[in-house]
Structure 1
């Protein structure tokens, strides 16, 4: 069974995965656009999420072994996936996989840096496309410029609608291509800001507890 959801908050994601386990759906794999589950006996599973990437497979295996020795089974994630999912194995191990608040907050910092890096990767590409006139940022303020039919906006009646409806599918394709990169940059920066906000909130909670 597949479920399509997107989270920017690890705590909310953990709570949702726990709720799914109580309903008899065992989490087995994270995909690009969602989650894969398989039928299982309902259980009160404790699932925790970390965010780490590794250059070497050996480092990734050592990372998994460290948590498994502490009573947490690695149930999903690869060395390059970033998101790492752990499930408490029986009654062994503590309630948390993180030794302190800084470790818990650090996953949000790493996630924020990842989103920011992706945004930065798109900025030079966008600049090149704009400088070569492959993309015209002006269309965001003047969508009519995407229509190339001569004299379209001076037509009236049936002649206008025939020309308008004929060209609109092509306009949508051109428009999506031109706004795709700006939209992706905005989304990546937004996700980065959300993760950074949660990082700061987690750090502030540490100060309040002390």
Structure 2
């Protein structure tokens, strides 16, 4: 079974995965756009997450082995996927995969840096497209410029609606192409902000507990 969801908060994602286990669905794989489950006997599973990438396969294997030695089974994740999922295998072990708050907060910092890097990587592409007139930023202020039919806005009645309805799909396509990069940049920056906010909140919680 596949489920399509998107989270920006690790705690919320962990709670959802654990709830799915209680409903009888064992989490097996994280894909680019969702989650895969297999039917199984309901259980009170403890699934936790980390966010970490590795340049070397050996480092990734050592990372997984470290958690396994601490009683946590690696469910899914690769050396370059970032998202790593663990299930508590030792019932006598700790309920957390992190030994301190700094480690728990660090995953949000790494996630925030990843989203920010993605946003920055698209900025030069957007600048190049604008400089070569492949994208016209003026459409944000004048959406009518997306319609290329000569004299369209001077027509009336049925003639106007025929021309308008005919060209609207093409105008929407052009508008989508021109807006996709700015939207992606803003979306990635928003995700980076959310992750960084959660990082700071986790750090503040550490101070409050002292």
TM-score interval for Structure 1 and Structure 2 normalised by the shorter chain: over 0.9
User: Which residue of 2 is the match for residue 3 of structure 1?
Assistant: 3
User: Which residue of 2 is the match for residue 21 of structure 1?
Assistant: 21
User: Which residue of 2 is the match for residue 188 of structure 1?
Assistant: 188
User: Which residue of 2 is the match for residue 209 of structure 1?
Assistant: 209
Q: Is 2:38 the counterpart of 1:42?
A: no
* SS of the residue 2:93 aligns to: coil
User: Which residue of 1 is the match for residue 131 of structure 2?
Assistant: 131
User: Which residue of 2 is the match for residue 118 of structure 1?
Assistant: 118
Matches within 5 A, 1:53-202: 53-202=53-202
The structural deviation recorded for 1:179 is: 0.1
Structure-2 separation of matches of 1:85 and 1:5: 16
TM-score (norm 2): 0.99
Following TM superposition, where does structure 1 have runs of at least 4 consecutive aligned residues deviating by more than 3 angstroms?
A: none
* SS of the residue 1:51 aligns to: strand
CA RMSD in angstroms, aligned pairs only: 0.6
Structure-2 separation of matches of 1:176 and 1:41: 46
The structural deviation recorded for 1:90 is: 3.8
Structure-1 separation of matches of 2:18 and 2:184: 31
Aligned length: 210
Q: Which runs of 5+ in 1 are unaligned?
A: none
Q: Which runs of 5+ in 2 are unaligned?
A: none
Cα deviations by residue, 1:66-120 (Å, 9 ceiling, x for unpaired): 0000000000101000000000004142111101000000000000000000000
